[in-house]
Chains A and B, each alone.
Chain A
């Protein structure tokens, strides 16, 4: 009896495992093609590209908004000397494809560059000729370490409320129609307060070089919000706000 019970448990476990696994089509391959450049249009070579098949969808708990941990790597390669790539991938059955340029999980991740994702690629509708071409050049900005510093230089005992909005390091271009834009984090935002007892605050952030960030602030006493935009570039890596 115990023997039969063991077999039943084993079969049950196997059936659960089989359901989760992504299968691949026999006798079929897909091709993903594009070009990677930097902000100035200079080609970027040796950038890793991964083609991931997954059934999981947007997940707000992940930085990029995508839960790719359950995905299966179906294709991989690098951009060549001209920045071009042509990657052959397996063809997943009943799963969507995410093309991930410079993924942070990759062994060859270019740490000083941003990443880029095209999400929701459907094999049947988006790959009719078995080719997916990225419509435009994929731009990977440099990542800059940026410091925002707030100094209290008056005797005011007001509380300063502030927020900083900046572009995500992993922008997502979603081509899936049934997912709304609100599912995708198009902008990153952090915020905080400078309490009357504090005279100095600083935040160190990783941001995209050449990005425009929006610094918004208000005082608790009047509640009027004021905005200030800052452009990050090679010369401008620190923003000091004094009030």
Chain B
């Protein structure tokens, strides 16, 4: 007989958070639905800002995948839309990882991974639509702020990413989005030759969901 595993506390928390977010945004949406002139007034978006919940998933044979238990984090950014089809922007993300295998990376407790990317991309749907589909790329700085008691030291590198973002505008200014990023991190860590690939080439998926603010 199949047993149903109880929902973990973490999952319940995320589920409740999403439900609340949906309800709040739906209230805004109800007012906006009454506006019959949506297409007339709402297409000319100059910029957007967004903030979301990030759940990075490292994979492959690299130190962040094999020796860390990474947690969820925050991601936020801005985009400027100079034309109907193209955008450019910047994003910042931050999340934490606890060391689980000290023999692979050295003895320290945890790290905070911070990324700053310059991004750009293409919008596949017209702005007058409530639904938006964007694909982009980015490149930027990756820093690991390693914690060892009260001591700190850093590992640094750069990263590139490609993403696909679906968003839906609930009101003139407010929308929701879901994004899937794939990132390649190239760390600048000095290690013996046979460990270079393990420490220098890191891959991850970084899905995120959140809210988006449009600036007209």
Contact = CB atoms under 8 A, between A and B. Distances in A.
Given A27-B156, A129-B192, A77 B103 contact: yes
Interface stretch (A68-76, A161-169, A190-198, A233-241): A68-76
B193 interface: yes
A175 to B, nearest CB: 19
A90 B108 contact: yes
Given A129-B192, A130-B191, A21 B107 contact: no
Given A28-B189, A29-B191, A129-B192, A90 B103 contact: no
B155 A26 contact: yes
A21 B151 contact: yes
Given A75-B106, A88-B105, A31 B153 contact: no
Interface in B18-35: none
A130 B104 CA distance: 15
Interface residues of A, number: 22
Given A78-B103, A89-B106, A90-B108, A25 B153 contact: yes
**Which DSSP category, helix, strand, loop or mixed, fits chain A's interface?**
strand
Most buried by A among B189, B191, B195: B191
B151 A29 contact: no
Given A77-B102, A88-B104, A29 B153 contact: no
B103 A76 contact: yes
B192 A27 contact: no
Contacts of A78: 103
Contact of B190 (A28, A87, A88): A28
Interface in A52-92: 73-78, 87-90
B1 to A, nearest CB: 40
A216 to B, nearest CB: 45
Given A21-B151, A27-B188, A131-B192, A88 B156 contact: no
Interface of B: 102-108, 148, 150-151, 153-156, 187-193, 195, 199
Interface of A: 21, 23-29, 31, 73-78, 87-90, 129-131
